Amino acid sequence: MFVKHGVNSGFSSLASSAVLRRQQFLIRSLGGHSVSDITHQKKRMEAVKCSSGGADAECVLRAITPSLDPKRHKGQAGKIAVIGGCREYTGAPYFAAISALKIGADLSHVFCTQGAATVIKSYSPELIVHPILEESYSISDVDDEGRRQILKKILSEFDKWMERFDCLVIGPGLGRDPFLLECVSKIMTHARESNVPMVVDGDGLFLVTNCIELVSGYRLAVLTPNVNEYKRLVQKVLGGDVDDQNTHGELLSLSKQIGGVTILRKGKSDLISDGEIVQSVSIYGSPRRCGGQGDILSGSVAVFLSWARQHISATERESTISRTNPTVLGCIAGSALLRKAAALAFEHKKRSTLTTDIIEHLGQSLEAICPAS
């Protein structure tokens, strides 16, 4: 369910019958009230600020996931590009890009440095890898004019592909090299000018926190901070420390201050806000906190965001879901699916669960909610 300034703003009609039965059982156990009392109690529970369980998230997943139609052609189920990957970090961009494919995107690209490209290519032949980015060490003997020309060439090469993409994922394995960050900031500016949605994670958030203008006011941008990244964003934008006693209000304020950018605050429950509503996804995932799960999330959100936009365009806002911000829908779906896949992987692998195990359960988890046939 959605929360708008602390008040339920939709999806109440999607409440799970299973949840209602549990509520009725609890009420009967506490004193056996009448049907009218039960109905009144249900309305009261729907009227208060609440977190989304599996039912609402699954409704979103079912609504926005496209059917597998033989009439569709390659590319219609999504074309995703990950911008990241340098000498030190090659796993993160792979996790984000391959997760997008495992969920159902048709094509997944990675734009990285030359030092990362061969390694990423070796992980999977399914990914289209573009070694066009540069780090400072590789151009250390180039003067300022030469650097400007290199930057111009990089942007020119990326712009050839820009209009093909349904969403960008900015930051997995990006690193913090100054010239590389300058390249990516220019790519983000071009993407914004072309109205291409973007999901910003990892070192992309480091870049955004230090240059908030890159996303400020851009409602097709999603930020996915973890606890430390969120802390830095709050300090930068709101000028104070994180207020754990006012999590919903603070997240609303943060999103509003950045101009309606959607923020997915990762945690025990994932909190999502676009400055107008707050949604919490609290489906149980896994106690195993291996690195790389945020990369799965960013790739997943990118796919579901693009599917949500297609769904809204096709239905012309005829339903409650289709009247919801597609960035919020993408976050709900991505968060829910990751948690379900992580739970399933942990059930099999326990303490030895790795990010690759979770990725292998993405398809099975989605199939359980949205059968292909």
Give the residue numbers of the binding site for ATP.
266-270, 285-294
Separation between Cα atoms, residue 340 and residue 364, nearest integer Å: 10
Separation between Cα atoms, residue 51 and residue 279, nearest integer Å: 7
CB atoms within 10 A of CB 368: 11
Q: Kindly state the tokens that stand for 20.
A: 């209602």
Contact at 8 Å (CB) between 265 and 251?
Answer: yes
Per DSSP, 210 falls in state H
Q: Cα–Cα distances in Å, from 363 out to 243, 309, 357, 372?
A: 37, 21, 12, 10
Torsion of CA 310, 271, 105, 132, to 10 degrees: 110
Q: Kindly state the tokens that stand for 324.
A: 């919801």
Strand 278-281 relative to strand 2-4, pairing = antiparallel
Q: Which residue has the tokens 């309305």?
A: 43
Known binding residues for (6S)-NADPHX are 173, 226-232, 295
CB atoms within 10 A of CB 288: 18
Known binding residues are 173, 226-232, 266-270, 285-295
10 Å CB burial of residue 109 (0-12, 13-18, 19+) is buried
Q: Cα–Cα distances in Å, from 95 out to 85, 98, 133, 137, 184?
A: 11, 5, 19, 26, 19
Beta bridge partners of 79: 107
